[in-house]
């Protein structure tokens, strides 16, 4: 779209873009006050009215004055149902009324009954993806901001990794708490940054309007130098950015690896009030999220063609190796937790998922060493996933879980928790051998015989018809026939 492309080609246009960014940030602050973690009511139509006013302020040169009265009528009509009562339907009416009023005020081609649909497509479906290219194009117009950009990815991702490590490691959390009296690290809300990101993505296209004219194809965004804008990755992941990122990331991961070596593998004394089971359970999933984020960065850096540098390649190898160690530590954490609280289907799924993440990281390293394309990496990961899923289809997980939980339970003299008869029951007929062993360990438990009889009736019913026959069920029946109960379950 020529009009919006030209906006980025002059200093005046650059200044106008900065004004729009300021307006968008102001609206984001208002959204945080009115909407985040609040019971919505009158605050929602108030924000919608403020959004409409801010859009007209930021695009005053586009206002179509003959339709201004109609646009305001549409806005008021759209807000009234939400003022009456905020429901799903009234929220939808507010959204459509607001974007329709914006379109009628600023889009010369807006006419007819399809205005809400056209505005929704351009502002709500396509528009949110304009934020990153517009931000990069504006920042790249200034030499200082180009320097800032080379540090933006390293520092931003380092902060994310630090927060994830703080969530996974109580020692790092204590370090962060000591740096700030308000204990920010322990009270950070994950939802708030996500809310900010979603809201600013929705606000930006309404502030920086780019209406598509019918019958015309929108041109690609133009950067402030007048050339076609590059991809989102290329201006950020240059060689300087990747080197700085990898150096910072390797240092951060080395700290986490060292702490895991001390506490997880070396069994050093944990902070007061922290058990090894709690430490293990708390850290596994944030560390897997860290490894996945790290893998995404490596793939993006490799895709941008930066892995050929003599310095970058060994840094990537070191970092991927540290991520593999991170996944191994996560697996050990889940193992420690299982030793205390026994197996569940979700814990087995977590172990399998972690193993797949480790395989994916190793494949990333193989892709770099063998100089294979990203398509090869995708195929190999899909092959690993398919092989894993196929193998899982052949494993009797319910029987394995039931057997492990009874064998390693407190009643069996092991370090695990007490037998959970309700969970054994939920595992189905394959838990019958384990239920029988549990009955011998807990003869006073009246619930186990009832569970046994119900599961046994279910097993006999399944084996009675060839339609419900299965090889696994046949093997179970053969076991039950060869190992009858030594006492009456009733």
Q: Is residue 259 exposed (0-12), middle (13-18) or buried (19+ Cβ within 10 Å)?
A: buried
Q: What is the mean pLDDT of residues 90-95?
A: 88
Report the pLDDT value the prediction gives residue 479, as an integer from 0 to 100.
Answer: 92
Cα angle vertex 167, ends 162, 173, to 5°? Answer: 70
Q: What is the mean pLDDT of residues 111-139?
A: 78
State pLDDT tens for residues 312-331: 788 888 888 888 888 888 88
**Could you tell me the pLDDT band of residue 12, with boundaries at 50, 70 and 90?**
low
Report the pLDDT value the prediction gives residue 61, as an integer from 0 to 100.
Answer: 81
Gap between the terminal Cα atoms of the chain: 79
State pLDDT tens for residues 47-87: 999 999 988 888 888 787 788 888 889 889 888 888 888 88
Report the pLDDT value the prediction gives residue 216, as an integer from 0 to 100.
Answer: 47
Q: Is residue 226 exposed (0-12), middle (13-18) or buried (19+ Cβ within 10 Å)?
A: exposed
Average pLDDT along the chain: 79
CA distance 442 to 372: 58
State pLDDT tens for residues 176-188: 776 654 444 444 5
* pTM listed for this prediction: 0.57
**C-alpha distances in angstroms, 405 versus 209, 218, 432?**
60, 61, 13
């Amino acid at each position: 779209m020529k009009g919006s492309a030209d906006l980025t080609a002059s200093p005046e246009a650059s200044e106008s873009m900065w004004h729009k960014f300021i307006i968008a940030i102001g609206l984001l602050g208002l959204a945080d006050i009115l909407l985040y973690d609040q019971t919505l009511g009158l605050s929602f139509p108030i924000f919608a009215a403020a959004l409409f006013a801010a859009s007209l302020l930021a695009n005053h040169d586009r206002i179509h004055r003959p339709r201004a009265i109609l646009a305001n009528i549409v806005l008021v009509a759209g807000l009234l149902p939400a003022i009456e009562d905020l429901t799903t339907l009234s929220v939808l009416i507010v959204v459509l009324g607001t974007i329709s009023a914006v379109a009628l005020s600023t889009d010369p081609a807006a006419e007819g009954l399809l205005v809400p649909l056209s505005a929704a497509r351009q502002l709500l479906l396509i528009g949110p993806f304009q934020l990153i290219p517009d931000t990069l194009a504006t920042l790249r117009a200034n030499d200082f901001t180009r320097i800032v950009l080379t540090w933006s990815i390293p520092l931003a991702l380092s902060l994310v990794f630090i927060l994830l490590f703080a969530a996974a490691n109580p020692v790092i959390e204590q370090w962060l708490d000591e740096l700030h009296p308000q204990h920010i690290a322990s009270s950070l809300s994950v939802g708030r940054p996500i809310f900010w990101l979603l809201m600013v993505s929705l606000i930006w296209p309404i502030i920086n309007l780019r209406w598509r004219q019918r019958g015309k194809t929108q041109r690609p965004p133009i950067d402030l130098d007048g050339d076609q804008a590059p991809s989102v990755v290329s201006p950020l992941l240059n060689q300087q950015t990747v080197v700085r990122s990898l150096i910072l990331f390797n240092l951060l991961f080395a700290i986490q690896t060292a702490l895991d070596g001390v506490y997880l593998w070396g069994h050093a004394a944990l902070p007061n009030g922290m058990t090894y089971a709690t430490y293990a359970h708390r850290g596994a999933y944030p560390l897997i999220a860290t490894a996945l984020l790290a893998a995404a960065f490596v793939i993006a850096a490799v895709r941008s063609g930066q892995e050929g540098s003599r310095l970058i390649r060994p840094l990537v190898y070191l970092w991927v190796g540290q991520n593999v160690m991170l996944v191994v530590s996560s697996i050990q954490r889940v193992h420690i937790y299982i030793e205390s609280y026994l197996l569940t289907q979700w814990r087995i799924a977590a172990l399998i998922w972690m193993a797949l993440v480790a395989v994916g990281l190793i494949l990333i390293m193989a892709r770099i060493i063998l100089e294979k394309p990203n398509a090869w990496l995708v195929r190999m990961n899909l092959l690993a996933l398919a092989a894993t899923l196929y193998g899982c289809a052949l494993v009797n997980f319910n029987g394995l879980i039931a057997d492990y939980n009874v064998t390693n339970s407190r009643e069996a003299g092991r370090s695990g928790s007490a037998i959970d008869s309700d969970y054994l029951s939920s595992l189905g007929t394959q838990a019958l051998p384990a239920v029988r062993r549990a009955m011998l360990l807990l003869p006073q438990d009246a619930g186990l015989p009832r569970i046994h009889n119900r599961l046994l009736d279910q097993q006999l019913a399944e084996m009675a018809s060839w339609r419900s026959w299965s090889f696994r069920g046949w093997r179970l029946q053969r076991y039950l026939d060869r190992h009858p109960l030594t006492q009456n379950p009733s």
